Amino acid sequence: MSTDCADPQLAQEFVQFAVEAGVLRFGEFRTKAGRASPYFFNAGLFDDGAKLGRLAEFYARRLLASGLGFDMLFGPAYKGITLAAALAVELARRGRNLPFAYNRKEAKDHGEGGTLVGARVAGRVLIVDDVISAGTSVRESIALIRAAGAEPAAVAIALDRQERATEDGRDADYSAVQYVTRRLGLQAAAVATLDDLLQYLRTTRDTTLAAHAAAVAAYRARYGVAG
């Protein structure tokens, strides 16, 4: 399985949107892996109707052009729930009405019970998330989808960081997205990648933003993976 190649123009539009929305920020940040990162992507800041709707447009455009086959959407708790719901609305608006479902973190012991909410999980399932940091939520989603008798088909994310994953506290020779495609056997589609972000910084006329290009390039050189 492989990562579906992004549309360069769409990717540049998305990076610009993320910067203008304040979702993509530059400075000094500490990642979950303990790395000092010169940028930070926080999809939780797509926090109003206009920004969320625009984000869903980017996902939809990316997926409709990708050729990936899927019959329904699945949003891992918690961020994936909002993303899958917004994407379902946008795909329906574009003529592709699909069911969606999501999971609870804890099983409900009353009413319908269980951990799955929404449409019956069936067929080829697309997992929708913001980024893949360690692959944990994807593995959990795969287990839930298979337990329901369906097929996990692909993963859609907003940004592929293209940096080495960590394994037992050490850098691995693959990224979290590559882990999903190579080890878990799913296809993946990202709206944009770290390389797209670098391209944006290197070509923008905003000198304040352009000043961050060298630090981001150095981070990519130190922690990045090929492809």
Catalytic residue, chosen from 32, 51, 105, 108, is 108
Residue 111 pLDDT exceeds 70: no
Average pLDDT of the chain to the nearest whole number: 92
pLDDT tens, 171-181? 888 999 999 99
Residue 5 pLDDT exceeds 60: no
pLDDT tens, 191-220? 999 999 999 999 999 999 999 999 999 999
pLDDT tens, 25-82? 999 999 888 899 999 999 999 999 999 999 999 999 999 999 999 999 999 998 999 9
pLDDT tens, 129-153? 999 877 788 999 999 999 999 999 9
For 121-153, letters b (16+ CB in 10 Å) and e give: beeebbbbbbbbbebebbebbbebbeeeebebb
Instruction: For residue 90, give the amino acid letter.
Output: E
**How many Å apart are CA 33 and CA 132, to the nearest integer?**
13
Query: Is residue 110 flagged as an active site residue?
Result: yes
Tell me, which fold does domain 3-223 have in CATH? Rossmann fold (3.40.50)
Average pLDDT score over residue span 121-127: 98
Q: What is the pLDDT of residue 33?
A: 81
Query: Quick one: residue 149, left, alpha or beta (phi over 0 = left, psi -120 to 50 = alpha)?
Result: left
**How many Å apart are CA 63 and CA 169, to the nearest integer?**
34
Catalytic residue, chosen from 32, 79, 110, 212, is 110
Cβ-contact 143, 186 below 8 angstroms: no
Q: What is the pLDDT of residue 167?
A: 76
Residue 41, strand partner residues = 24
Residue 113 pLDDT exceeds 60: no
Residue 169 pLDDT exceeds 80: no
Q: Where are the alpha helices (DSSP H) in 116-212?
A: 136-147, 176-178, 194-203, 207-210
Cβ-contact 152, 127 below 8 angstroms: yes
Q: What is the pLDDT of residue 149?
A: 97
Cβ-contact 29, 23 below 8 angstroms: no
Rounded to two decimals, what is the model's pTM? Answer: 0.92
Those residues whose C-beta lies under 8 Å from the C-beta of residue 172, and which sit 6 or more positions away, are 164, 165, 166, 179
- H or E element that contains 62: helix 49-66
